[in-house]
């Protein structure tokens, strides 16, 4: 199978379903029109990202546009909390961060609605082209040099990931049949996972201290969370509900397994070729990757969350890609 075939075989980074404008309750549509300052005349729906709610560029009667996200617990019980986190996090982003500006938000206790400025660009071409990847890696490097605005309410990365980076410990504490099935269904990685399980548990326990720091962290960078405006040499980093304050190398390292999955090249070579890797020990990198791989692996074994049928397969693929990199260290 060629690299192009591998990329085509990946599950889409998309919820698989999205609400249309006509699906929104009347009072939510009225909220959006009022907050935007004009009636909505047309919509262009987003076709990437895992949120199962509404996400679209809305054209307004006065010629302006606004990118709107809207979600309620009916689509997914966790999504409103993520939307509220994105509202909080938007207030922490300094001007030099290339993120769409949050124009307004509304929260009636059920529906959470966010209105962003419209930015122009395209998703990276997959398999990754070297010029696209280079531009995104430059943007990640610039992000690591930014500081959150004073008075921000961003969580610490190690605090935010404390309940997530326990996947290997959960696996070894659970029924042995789960581990046996994981080994049996992980292809060429299966035997290595079985042999390395105790080591993965130990590495995972060192992950949180390795991820602590003072840098602004996006926390969820993948191809579907960036847009490239080639006309203006601009890379936009979008979707910020997982932002935190942590190690400056975290976004680079945690993005690279998905880059490898999508034909972008060897993650270890890319990481060590980037200036953000300077001073990062192999022990710190191993610990961080073990925590990430455990999170993806454990999550992939859980039932599909409501409204997001593609998520578990994508997490499984990301977990395997992370383990392939970890195996080389």
Q: Give the pLDDT score at 12.
A: 57
**What is the C-alpha R_g of the chain?**
20
- Residue that wins the pLDDT comparison between 90 and 47: 90
Among the ranges given (11-15, 101-105, 182-186), the one the predictor scored with the smallest mean pLDDT: 11-15
Inter-residue contact 56 to 40 (CB < 8 Å): no
pLDDT, average across residues 94-98: 96
Confidence check: pLDDT of 3 > 50: no
69 and 238 in contact (C-beta within 8 Å)?
A: no
Question: What proportion of the chain, given as a percentage, has pLDDT over 90?
Answer: 88
pLDDT-derived band at 2, boundaries 50, 70, 90: very low
| Average pLDDT estimate for 165-184 | 96
Give me the pLDDT at residue 6, please.
47
User: Mean pLDDT over residues 215-227, rounded?
Assistant: 96
* Integer Cα distance of 294 and 291 in angstroms: 5
Q: What pLDDT score was predicted for residue 309?
A: 83
For residue 224 the two structure tokens come to: 């579907």
Exposure string over 291-303, b if 16+ CB within 10 A, otherwise e: bbbbbbbbbbbee
Strands (E), 164-242: 215-217, 226-229, 234-237
**Residue 67 pLDDT greater than 80, yes or no:** yes
pLDDT in tens, 107-126: 999 999 999 999 999 999 99
pLDDT at 10: 62
Q: What is the pLDDT of residues 140-172, one digit of tens each?
A: 999 999 999 999 999 999 999 999 999 999 999
**Angstrom distance (rounded) from CA 282 to CA 274:** 15
Report pLDDT for 16.
Answer: 56
pLDDT digit string (tens) for 256-289? 999 999 999 999 999 999 999 999 999 999 999 9
Please tell me the distance from the alpha carbon of residue 189 to that of residue 323, in angstroms, as a whole number: 8
Q: How confident is the model at residue 30 (pLDDT cuts 50, 70, 90)?
A: very high
Architecture of the structural domain at 3-116: 2-Layer Sandwich (3.30)
Side-chain half-sphere CA neighbours of 200 within 13 A: 29
Q: What is the mean pLDDT of residues 246-251?
A: 98
Structure tokens given for 71: 């979600």
Does residue 56 or residue 46 have the better pLDDT?
Answer: 56
How much is the pLDDT for 310?
84
Task: Read off the pTM.
Answer: 0.94
Q: What percent of the chain shows pLDDT beyond 70?
A: 94
pLDDT beyond 80 at 11 = no
How does pLDDT run across 309-328, given as a tens digit for each residue? 888 999 999 999 999 999 99
Half-sphere exposure of 9 (CA within 13 A, CB side): 9
**Looking at residue 8, what is its pLDDT?**
42
pLDDT of 5 higher than 70: no
User: In degrees, to the nearest 5, what angle opens at C-alpha 281 toward C-alphas 128 and 325?
Assistant: 40
Query: Dihedral through CA 29, CA 77, CA 315, CA 160, nearest 10?
Result: 100
CB 36 within 8 A of CB 60: yes
User: Poorest-confidence range of 43-57, 85-99, 164-178, 283-297?
Assistant: 43-57
Check residue 155 and give its pLDDT.
98
Hey, where are the domains in the chain?
3-116, 130-327
Distance (Å, rounded) from C-alpha 109 to C-alpha 60? 26
Q: Is cis: bond before 127, omega within 30 of 0? A: yes
First to last CA, the chain: 25
Where does residue 58 fall: left (phi above 0), alpha (psi -120 to 50 degrees), or beta otherwise?
beta
User: Binning pLDDT at 50, 70 and 90, where does residue 9 land?
Assistant: low
Average pLDDT, rounded, for the chain: 93
Q: Which fold has domain 130-327?
A: Aminoglycoside 3'-phosphotransferase; Chain: A, domain 2 (3.90.1200)
């Amino acid at each position: 199978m060629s690299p192009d075939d591998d990329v085509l075989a990946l599950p889409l980074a998309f919820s698989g379903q999205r609400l249309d404008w006509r699906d929104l309750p009347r009072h939510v549509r009225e909220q959006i029109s009022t907050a935007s300052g004009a009636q909505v005349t047309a919509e262009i729906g987003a076709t990437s990202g895992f949120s199962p709610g509404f996400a679209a560029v809305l054209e307004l009667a006065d010629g302006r546009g606004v990118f709107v996200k809207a979600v309620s617990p009916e689509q997914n019980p966790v999504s409103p909390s993520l939307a509220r986190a994105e509202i909080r996090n938007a207030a922490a982003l300094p001007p030099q961060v290339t993120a769409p500006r949050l124009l307004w938000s509304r929260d009636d206790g059920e529906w959470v609605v966010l209105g962003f400025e419209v930015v122009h660009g395209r998703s990276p071409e997959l398999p990754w082209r070297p010029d696209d990847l280079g531009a995104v890696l430059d943007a990640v490097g610039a992000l690591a040099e930014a500081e959150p605005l004073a008075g921000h309410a961003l969580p610490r990365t190690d605090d935010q990931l404390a309940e997530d980076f326990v996947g290997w410990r959960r696996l070894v504490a659970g029924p042995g049949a789960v581990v046996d099935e994981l080994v049996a269904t992980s292809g060429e990685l299966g035997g290595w996972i079985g042999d390395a399980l105790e080591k993965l548990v130990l590495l995972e326990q060192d992950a949180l201290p390795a991820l602590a720091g003072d840098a602004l962290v996006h926390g969820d960078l993948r191809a579907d969370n960036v847009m490239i405006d080639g006309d203006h040499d601009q890379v936009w980093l979008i979707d910020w509900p997982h932002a935190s304050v942590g190690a400056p190398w975290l976004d680079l390292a945690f993005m690279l397994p998905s880059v490898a999955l999508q034909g972008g090249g060897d993650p270890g070579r890319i990481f060590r070729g980037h200036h953000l890797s300077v001073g990062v020990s192999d022990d710190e990198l191993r610990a961080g990757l073990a925590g990430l791989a455990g999170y993806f692996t454990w999550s992939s074994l859980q039932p599909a969350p409501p409204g997001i049928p593609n998520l578990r397969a994508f997490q499984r693929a990301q977990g395997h890609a992370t383990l392939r990199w970890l195996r080389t260290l």
